[in-house]
Structure 1
Amino acid sequence: MTALTPALLVLVRHAESARNIAKKGSVYFADDAARQVVRGVPDHLIELTPDGRKQAAQTGQAIRSRFGAFDYVFTSGYARTEQTAAAILDAYPEVERSRMRVKTELFIRERDPGFAYDMTTAEAEAAFPWLNEYWQTFGGFMARPPGGESLADVTGRVHMFLNAIARDHAGQKIMVVTHGGTLRCFRFLLEGWSYSQAQSWPEGGSPANCGVTTYRAADDRLELQDYNQVYWTVGSPADGI
């Protein structure tokens, strides 16, 4: 019987980024001083911190030991996912790396944060005084940040990506290096979450930097094996994109 899904799908959140540190897990910057290091840098160019590079390197050693080589490695094309993937792949000897194809996939990028991307909390509240009530009404899965995407929007493109790898990479081992919000969309689709389950991460459920989530093929579907395994010992897990 022909396989209808990848044999293995490993999802990795990117390592610690400069913006993770600057925002300290908050939706907006606390103040102007907090955002100065990354102000004006578009989301796709935000890079890893030195600790983030170490996290990715340590994670790479564990991933190689646990899973061996992959057929394909996909990144979102954002600097922080490309740097994370490169550090992970450094754990592999050249003969193994040469057999793994690395590809950029626009569909697995982080949600578009919209107009408030570089704002402080005070600025966002002044510019969008209605936003908190709107967010409370529609919830964290359906609501769109002004000028940006909802997680429901992101789920649409993740769905197209999953269909593509089922079609083109059935029976193969796939690693995806992506973002925290996008990971929630993967779980919504792969695990059949309800809208209420997808509204927010449960307490303690946010994926850590370089957290590793594993799905294996079972009866022509991908079944969760484990979630958010952390293999590094430097720094501390950070929330955010």
Structure 2
Amino acid sequence: MSAPRQILMIRHGQSAANLDQSIYDRIPDYRIPLTKDGRDQARAAGEKIRRQLDGQKVCVYVSPYLRAYQTLEALDLGDLVEQTMEEPRLREQDWANFQNPAEIADQKELRNAYGHFFYRFREGESGSDVYDRVSSFMETLYRHWARDDYAPNTLLVTHGLTMRLFCMRWFHWSVEYFESLNNPGNAEVRTLVARGGGYALDTAFEQWAPADPGTTVLDASSSTDPQ
């Protein structure tokens, strides 16, 4: 087949760090587990995904983070899964190794002022770095989709920022439009559905500021240029 019927993406369920960010200074980010509520969220999402698959097989790509694997486990997709592949390029944005919560809070303030796409965390990544690795992952997807025996559906078990950047790359959204979008909630699903020779996003990301996919830095700066 040339491309799947649908490309499903899910953000991991609620993690221990979503409740207590001080956990970052004693547990590596990739080892932070889901909470009980996070597992319940993922189980509920699994019911939705099974309905969407409608008995068809799916090929799964999962971030190597514990909370992503636990989310996939809780989805309980059973024999609908054709193959599961760990994909490090779907990991969370790297912020630091063991993180000092106060320092990260300061850097988040700087990121809010500078812009989420271009600001690079010390010892970590910028959003544009994640965009680059997501772009590389897409090249792998295209090669996999070229196989005759590929499943009719694709599922990415990943993180909120990574989901937004995947869609940004797929739909060629501008940086300014990306900056206007909020992350999906824990265990929320977004689906790219094959339609009319292309794909459409079933549910838009919520926006915190007005913008459209073609908004550029020229548009954003026009209201702040000196007169």
Same fold (TM over 0.5): yes
Q: Structure 1 residues 146 and 67 mapped into 2: Cα distance closer, same or farther (>3 Å)?
A: same
Partner in structure 1 of residue 153 of structure 2: 173
TM-score normalised to the size of structure 2?
0.78
Q: Kindly indicate whether the alpha-carbon contact (under 8 Å) linking 2:161 and 2:183 is maintained by their aligned counterparts in 1.
A: no
Partner in structure 1 of residue 203 of structure 2: 226
Partner in structure 2 of residue 16 of structure 1: 14
Aligned partners of 1:147 and 1:87: how far apart in 2?
32
Picking from 20, 23, 47, the partner of 2:33 is 47
Q: Kindly indicate whether residue 66 of structure 2 is the aligned counterpart of residue 112 of structure 1.
A: no
Output aligned runs, 1:181-192, within 5 Å. 181-192=161-172
Q: Kindly indicate whether the alpha-carbon contact (under 8 Å) linking 1:113 and 1:149 is maintained by their aligned counterparts in 2.
A: yes
Q: Kindly indicate whether the alpha-carbon contact (under 8 Å) linking 1:16 and 1:209 is maintained by their aligned counterparts in 2.
A: yes
Partner in structure 1 of residue 85 of structure 2: 103
Q: Structure 1 residues 215 and 75 mapped into 2: Cα distance closer, same or farther (>3 Å)?
A: same
Residue identity (%): 30
Tell me the number of residue pairs that the alignment of Structure 1 and Structure 2 aligns.
Answer: 201
Partner in structure 2 of residue 148 of structure 1: 124
Q: Kindly indicate whether the alpha-carbon contact (under 8 Å) linking 2:24 and 2:100 is maintained by their aligned counterparts in 1.
A: no
Q: Kindly indicate whether the alpha-carbon contact (under 8 Å) linking 1:74 and 1:104 is maintained by their aligned counterparts in 2.
A: yes
CA shift digits 1:45-83 (9 cap, x unpaired)? 110001111111111112102223433111011100000
Higher relative contact order, structure no. (Cα contacts within 8 Å, ≥ 6 residues apart)? 1
Partner in structure 1 of residue 52 of structure 2: 66
Q: Structure 1 residues 134 and 190 mapped into 2: Cα distance closer, same or farther (>3 Å)?
A: closer
TM-score normalised to the size of structure 1?
0.74
CA shift digits 1:113-169 (9 cap, x unpaired)? 126x522336864xx7xx8557624x1101101111011110111111112112212
Aligned partners of 2:52 and 2:179: how far apart in 1?
32
For structure 2, the residue ranges without an aligned partner over 5 or more in a row are 207-227
Aligned partners of 1:39 and 1:78: how far apart in 2?
17
Aligned partners of 2:45 and 2:205: how far apart in 1?
12
Aligned partners of 1:150 and 1:196: how far apart in 2?
15
Letter in 2 for 1:145: F
Aligned alpha-carbon RMSD (Å)? 2.5
Aligned partners of 1:38 and 1:143: how far apart in 2?
20
Q: Kindly indicate whether residue 68 of structure 2 is the aligned counterpart of residue 76 of structure 1.
A: no
Letter in 2 for 1:174: T
Q: Kindly indicate whether the alpha-carbon contact (under 8 Å) linking 1:107 and 1:157 is maintained by their aligned counterparts in 2.
A: yes
Q: Kindly indicate whether the alpha-carbon contact (under 8 Å) linking 1:77 and 1:106 is maintained by their aligned counterparts in 2.
A: yes
Q: Structure 1 residues 141 and 101 mapped into 2: Cα distance closer, same or farther (>3 Å)?
A: same
CA shift digits 1:24-58 (9 cap, x unpaired)? xxxxxxxxxxx1x5531111111000111111111
Aligned partner of residue 202 in structure 2, secondary structure: strand
Q: Structure 1 residues 132 and 219 mapped into 2: Cα distance closer, same or farther (>3 Å)?
A: same
